[in-house]
Chain A
Amino acid sequence: MGLLADSMTIFKREMIIFRANLRTNIIRSIMFPIILIAVFGNLGASIRGVPIAVANYANNQQSVQFINSLVADGSISLQYTTNQQQGVTLLKDGQVVGLVVILPTFPQSSNGNPPVDVYYSSVQLSEVGVLLSKVQTTASSFGASYEKIQQGSTSPSGPSGVIPGSAGSLTVKSNSAYGTGGNYTTFLVGSIIFMTVGFGGVFGSGMSFITDRQLGNIKAFLVSPINKRAIVLGKLFSGTVQSVIYGILSLIIGLAFGAKIIMGFVGLIWILLFILAIGLAFTGLSLFLASRMSKVDVFAIVSQFIVMPLWFLSGAFFPANDFPFALRIISYVDPLTYVTNGVRAVMLTTYFPFSQIMLDFGVAIAFIIVALIASFVLFKDTLD
């Protein structure tokens, strides 16, 4: 009881200060997202030459036409014409991103199964997206339906012997594909939200903690009879609220610049949850850093040094899966990779990738717990 009431006192003070500098705070926090989204979001970035293998069991005129129109615009490049067995091997070896299997009945369905199967690797998020949407549009222009089969999943027509999750040695995540209508701006906004939230969290409370200590406010709190944990908790609340505000603002900016939340309202709720989680975690992280630093400029450099790489390595501008091996390893231990991925999942797909979101959200929760424990343990309530 006492702890919460005391925390609210600190929270109230922080929010008065935040409101007093509202205009500066808002402008500072939205400048970066606006520039990034406006400039990079409209670069017209696209993916070309996605390597695939085709196993054509139909071998009729329509199937050849289908393959030709599939590769016509250069976004997909046909590397191998092979059978299903070898195609899957190529897929497992990482030589191709997808395997398109055209069944003998093409373009008619066989016994209710679609005439085209697409096998894809689960580690090449962006390229698979291009592949699937291309196959979908081309197949429908031929009046055929198709079936997505993630490599490793059990499917009626899938070959036996494919071990689940064995597409590479690193299958921490299972990526879903882009849904239709996704664009690069959407992809970018999914990460820029977290840059804003991350910086908001780090600078909001850590910075104020250090200046408060320099100005003697922390000492004034310490000589008062409040519960000392309330100082951390109050700052944590206010920092989180501020960074959530910044996150929502950058989401709004993103939507204004043409990003979409394909999952709709449910997706929005998830995005807000992710923003809240990362705001809380980064505020905790910043308090942990600030508890051991006495200079604002050192703090600014150190937190910059932490937030920036975390953000870049989360696959801010292009998917982390396409990183070189060493960087990919780092991206797997970067909590931002997961939350960015989670937000992109709800922004870019129409179905609910439950297990993936649970993983992503779980990582966020773990990050929060670590950051909070660190900030509470390291906070000293005396001067020695």
Chain B
Amino acid sequence: MTDNVIEIKNITKKFGDFTAVKGISFSIKEGEIFGLLGPNGAGKTTTLNMVLGLLHPTTGKILIDGLDNTEYPEKVKNLIGFMTQETVVDSTLTGRQNLEIAARLYHVPEKEVQKRIRSSLEEANLTGFADRQAGTYSGGMQRRLNLVKSMIHEPRILILDEPTTGLDVQSRLSMWNHIKNLNKAGVTIILTTQYLEEADSLCDRIAIIDHGEVKAIGTASELKKIVSSGNILDITTKVSNAEEVQKLLKSKFHLESEVKNDRVIATVDGKPIEMLVKIGKALEDQKIEVLAISMHLPTMDDVFIKLTGESMRDSASNEMPDRMISAGMAGRR
């Protein structure tokens, strides 16, 4: 039990009549990267806020390093670093002043302060800009400053709420490297993300949350097994043709499939390429118009759709460009 740095025990949170979190329990091991996935409004942020002590659970307990976080808020808060989705730096303060205030907020010992500021600036690659106002920094620089600022007290746990949302490709990759390096140095990391591939490639374990409940928890490959052990056949057609496709798959190939609007999804065991060719031929013979057809191993997308009944795409429609670049990564798995 000692290696569980965070234990969440059956917490619920009610806002008036609305129950945002319905009895969530899970624990996070020391030294892992833990991902929290879920559509908007699933209860991710509420759960994080409870871990951070910003909200008190209606029922249940959160133990951080064995301490109840509502009973020992100050001790617990010193163990946790937190970076929000929005970049929070004081734009009128210089980078150095930002770090200094952060160090004092976290009661960093007086003789350590200057040393920590220096190493943080180096880590964020901001030494040359230390005495400029943070408002003059670029978005990526501000983000890096934000990250080292939330690490100034050298916490054992780092909570990142959508750390890469809105970053360009380079900044995202460097953020990923940062996170991995911190993790190697022994920091336990919890992150929420809208990018399934991010969770897939970064996280040791993932919990999928929807409607205030944990739908599944495990490593990425464990979660993928929930969907299927075989391959996923994904046919995109017209909405009017979807049922015809489903019938064809059932009658000719004995495949059970699911229809989601214009998409027909089925699980295929056995030889995927052979099947794909056969199905393609059958569809052509029947003169059913097909827009796209693919055969692939389960991705986090499939897991997500299976468990939450909705696509991340729907819940995070503003993230389209980012999904393009990461599609390749998801496919490789």
Contacts and interface: CB of A to CB of B under 8 A. Distances in A.
Contact of A220 (B55, B88, B92, B104): B88
18 contacts: A13-B101, A17-B92, A20-B93, A21-B92, A217-B88, A219-B88, A220-B105, A221-B105, A222-B54, A223-B52, A223-B53, A224-B105, A225-B75, A225-B77, A226-B105, A382-B54, A382-B55, A384-B55
A216 B54 contact: no
B177 interface: no
Contact of B93 (A6, A16, A221, A383): A16
Nearest to A9: B104
B3 to A, nearest CB: 24
Interface of A: 6, 9, 12-13, 16-17, 20-21, 215-217, 219-226, 382-384
Nearest to B83: A220
B97 interface: yes
Contact of B56 (A215, A219, A384): A384
Interface string B79-106: 0101010101010110001000110111
* Contact residues on B (Cβ < 8 Å of other chain), bracket: 20 to 34
Given A13-B90, A223-B82, 20 more contacts: A12-B101, A16-B92, A16-B93, A16-B101, A17-B90, A17-B92, A215-B86, A219-B84, A220-B84, A220-B88, A221-B105, A223-B52, A224-B77, A225-B75, A225-B106, A225-B107, A226-B107, A382-B53, A383-B54, A384-B56
A220 B101 CA distance: 11
A13 B84 CA distance: 20
A363 B84 CA distance: 44
Nearest to A384: B55
Q: Is the interface of B mostly helix, strand, loop or mixed?
A: mixed
Interface of B: 15, 49, 52-56, 73-75, 77-78, 80, 82, 84, 86, 88, 90, 92-93, 97, 101-102, 104-107, 133
B191 to A, nearest CB: 16
A223 B80 contact: yes
Closest 3 CB pairs of A and B: A224-B105, A225-B77, A216-B88
A382 B77 CA distance: 13
Task: Tell which of B86, B105, B106 has the most Cβ of chain A within 10 Å.
Answer: B105
Task: Tell which of A9, A13, A223 has the most Cβ of chain B within 10 Å.
Answer: A223
A54 B77 CA distance: 78
A219 B86 CA distance: 11
Contacts of B54: 219, 222-223, 382-383
Nearest to B105: A224
Contact of A225 (B74, B86, B93, B133): B74
Nearest to B74: A225
Nearest to A215: B88
Contacts of B90: 13, 17, 217
